[in-house]
Amino acid sequence: MSERGRSSISEEDFERLQRDYTDATEQFAATNEVLTALGRSSSDPDAVLDTVVESARRLCRCEAAQVYLIEGDYFVLSSSVGLSDEFVDYVETHPLQRDRRTLIGRVTLDREVQQIADVLSDPQYGRQDVQQIGGFRTLISAPMLLDGEVVGALSLWRTEVAPFDERAIALLEAFAAQAAVVVRNVHLVRALEARGAELARRIEQLEALSEVGAAVSSSLVLDEVLSNIIMNAVRFAGCDGGSIMEYLPEDRSFSVRSAYASSAELLRKLRGIRIDVETTLVGRAALEGHPMSVADLDTVELDPHLQLLHDDGWRSVLTVPVLRGTQIIGALVVRRKRTGGFSDETIEFLETFASQSALAVWNARLFRELETKTAELEVVSQHKSEFLASMSHELRTPLNAVIGFSEVLLERMFGELNDRQDEYLRDILSSGRHLLNLLNDILDLSKVEAGRMELAPSTFSVSSAMEYGISMVRERAAMHGLTLTLEVDPTVDVIDSDELRVKQVLLNLLSNAVKFTPDGGRIAVVARRDGDELAVTVTDDGDGIPAEDRERIFESFQQGGRGTQREEGTGLGLTLCRRIVSLLGGRMWLESEVGRGSTFGFTLPLDGPVVESAPQSADHANLPVVVVIDDDRASLDLMTAYLDGLGVQVVHARDGEEGLELIRALGPAAVVLDIRMPGLDGWQVLTRVREDRAMSAVPVIIVSILDERSRGMTLGATDYLVKPVGREELVGALRRVGAVHSGSLPGRNGRPPQDPEEAG
């Protein structure tokens, strides 16, 4: 300022202006410092409040400045400058109450700036204890308002009686507003942090629930799942240990199944006491259907379970019932070494875990029941199989005689028959074969259901198998004027499968087609390649099958409606065929339209295993003896009748020991051996023959009611036939080993009669 300007004002005015300028500069600097601090308030809010109180003390020229925040009915010292440690400690242990005994209490209640010129002369001031420690005389405070809500107060003091002027009051109001902004940021940051922490906690809980859910759905080992549940429940509930119990309804008590963070001794004791449903905290929670807790075990009457926990050093307990609807499944118990209640959030979380536990226990119970039922069904299945095997053994022997002697008599091997005798014998033969088919189907189905059907895979010609099926039904088809056609894909040469079973399925489908196709109709068999499979279809132009019967006919003892016909049959053929095709790795289907015919089809994989059979040869053409070893007189007579006129000498043996002596003495061209015999059975005879160098080269053909071909071939049998055995089968087996010369079978008709319905 120029000398002329200075001379125009007084020295006093100049000093005042100089002081105002200095104050304004300091105030601007302080405001800038506070605003700069506000910019980083989210990272360090306490430092901003420290800047506010320091600026307020300096600009308002006082000894101390403090920020108090309201918590309930009291004030908490948040930031200060100029206070002794003694004062800070005292206020912390003897907080200022929000009432009119203190100046900060008054300004927050009245929501305006106030000051006390001298607290010693203020009759309403009631905290002389604080004044004596702080030594202040003049007090001034401003409320901190945040969106119309008082959140605290900014207070200044001087140790001498020196009231604050208007300028100081205005500064204090400005600093209080800035402090309120900081508090708002603090609230926002803390709310955000709390929300983030809550979100992280929820994510952890969801992950824990997901882990438990995965364990429940992937494992039926109950203790493993329950251990996982109680571990996560204790961890996320912030507890020190816990256990999970299963309810035993028959005993009306709980049994501890798994425990976490518990000593082996405690677990042993928990499993050794009775946790009754009526008299324990666990039981009451289960009966009432909601969680129950004890914040301090020292304050309640202890049941046996709580007493055991108390003696082990536990102080608070929460039990959550494990329920499935209204049914008690068990209980989940968490516990702490310290006293204190459990939050609603913790209880809600543990109720979710309890529902997971209910599912785990329920699944495990169902699995145990399923195992029990499965074991019982296995016993029943075993008994059924034993019964069927016994029935087979008892029925096959007389059937063998009925069918065999009928064939022998029909060939006029013992004289001529009149027409009525011939008719009756053919009825007997047909009935015997039908009974045999029924018996075979039942036994085969029983084997499939029991998983005991053995397959004999080999490589065979597809065309030959198809032609075999056609040949077996051609005669009957011709009787009804049916046209049979066969079409085989030229790209399909051979297939690896069980030839016998494939022929069985095809023959059954063809027999049904012949049976249910009206006279003059057509039946077409087609075998074609379908990707990696062979697809075989049998199509007829019969009456078709109604939609409601198309699945039922594959059930046991069902034939389904096909027009007005109800043909004779076992009702097991299609059921067995579908099971066999499934065993062979294929599928079976039906397409039909009423009035337009039906198509039954099945597939077989083309890449099945190849099993090569060892060639069997024995040049015993000049040996005339065939030894037949069987304890059944009718079977011996039948075999003799079968071989009569073939240029061989039949020698009988009624038991195993006699048979071995005849084999050693005669060196036969072949042996026909039964299995079930008293004393030395057929298996033992076969084993001794193969172990004796003098007899080991003799061909042994097993003819038995036991269907155990794989065992017989493994022990060294040359061939294996299952009773009842036809003459052609037996002679064919003897021809293959060279015991009988090739040629026509003797008899008036040249061969035994064939019945195309034999396949069922």
CATH of the domain at 721: 3.40.50.2300
**Residue in the block written with tokens 């015991």:** 739
CA 27 to chain centre: 74
Q: Is 595 a member of any domain?
A: yes
- Listed in sequence order, the DSSP H helices in 42-136 are 45-59, 85-93, 103-110, 128-134
Q: Domain check: are 172 and 237 in the same one?
A: no
Q: Is 587 a member of any domain?
A: yes
The answer to whether residue 613 scores a pLDDT higher than 50 is no
CA 437 to chain centre: 42
Per-residue pLDDT band for 175 (boundaries 50, 70, 90) equals: confident
Q: Domain check: are 93 and 150 in the same one?
A: yes
Whole-angstrom distance, CA of residue 387 vs CA of residue 369: 27
Q: Domain check: are 68 and 156 in the same one?
A: yes
The reported pTM is 0.37
Q: Domain check: are 550 and 633 in the same one?
A: no
Q: Which residues contact 636 (CB under 8 A, 6 or more apart)?
A: 628, 630, 652, 654
Question: How large a percentage of the chain has pLDDT more than 90?
Answer: 37
pLDDT for the residue numbered 759: 37
Q: What is the dihedral of CA 216, 218, 220, 222, to 10 degrees?
A: -40
From 163-177, 673-687, 744-758, the region with the lowest mean pLDDT? 744-758
The top-scoring range by mean pLDDT among 91-105, 176-190, 437-451 is 91-105
Q: Domain check: are 591 and 632 in the same one?
A: no
Which of 141, 173, 190 delimits the end of a domain?
A: 190
- Cβ proximity of 48 and 34 under 8 Å: yes
Q: What is the dihedral of CA 134, 135, 138, 144, to 10 degrees?
A: 0
Q: Domain check: are 589 and 729 in the same one?
A: no
pLDDT for the residue numbered 273: 94
The answer to whether residue 505 scores a pLDDT higher than 70 is yes
Q: What is the CATH number of the domain that holds 281?
A: 3.30.450.40
pLDDT for the residue numbered 432: 77
pLDDT for the residue numbered 609: 38
Whole-angstrom distance, CA of residue 647 vs CA of residue 649: 7
Task: Tally the C-alpha atoms within 13 A of residue 333's C-alpha that lie toward its C-beta.
Answer: 31
**pLDDT tens digits, residue range 53-92?**
888 898 888 999 999 999 889 999 989 999 999 999 999 9
Q: Domain check: are 336 and 366 in the same one?
A: yes
The answer to whether residue 184 scores a pLDDT higher than 80 is no
From 33-42, 243-252, 259-268, 436-445, the region with the lowest mean pLDDT? 33-42
Spell 378-389 as b/e; 16+ CB within 10 A means b: eeeeeeebeebb
Q: Is 330 a member of any domain?
A: yes
Which among 413, 390, 385 is positioned nearest to 640, based on CA atoms? 413
Which of 318, 342, 373 delimits the end of a domain?
A: 373
Whole-angstrom distance, CA of residue 468 vs CA of residue 340: 87
Q: Is 432 a member of any domain?
A: no
The answer to whether residue 302 scores a pLDDT higher than 50 is yes
User: What is the average per-residue pLDDT within 25-46?
Assistant: 56
Q: Domain check: are 701 and 646 in the same one?
A: yes
Q: What is the CATH number of the domain that holds 474?
A: 3.30.565.10
Q: Is 643 a member of any domain?
A: yes
Which among 657, 701, 646, 648 is positioned nearest to 679, based on CA atoms? 657
Q: Is 196 a member of any domain?
A: no
Whole-angstrom distance, CA of residue 361 vs CA of residue 96: 56
Which of 343, 373, 403 delimits the end of a domain?
A: 373
How many folded domains does the chain comprise?
A: 4
**pLDDT tens digits, residue range 102-153?**
999 999 999 999 999 999 999 999 999 999 999 999 999 999 988 888 989 9
**Residue in the block written with tokens 């009915």:** 73
Per-residue pLDDT band for 758 (boundaries 50, 70, 90) equals: very low
Whole-angstrom distance, CA of residue 157 vs CA of residue 60: 10
CA distance to 48, 114, 141, 152, 177, per residue, from 181 (Å): 10, 21, 17, 12, 6
Q: Is 306 a member of any domain?
A: yes
Which among 104, 109, 103 is positioned nearest to 124, based on CA atoms? 103
Q: Domain check: are 590 and 643 in the same one?
A: no
Q: Domain check: are 128 and 97 in the same one?
A: yes
Q: Is 748 a member of any domain?
A: no
Per-residue pLDDT band for 563 (boundaries 50, 70, 90) equals: very low
Per-residue pLDDT band for 345 (boundaries 50, 70, 90) equals: confident
Q: Which domain holds residue 546?
A: 458-559+570-605
pLDDT for the residue numbered 442: 67
Q: Domain check: are 664 and 731 in the same one?
A: yes
From 169-173, 599-603, 685-689, the region with the lowest mean pLDDT? 169-173
Q: Domain check: are 181 and 229 in the same one?
A: no
The answer to whether residue 610 scores a pLDDT higher than 60 is no
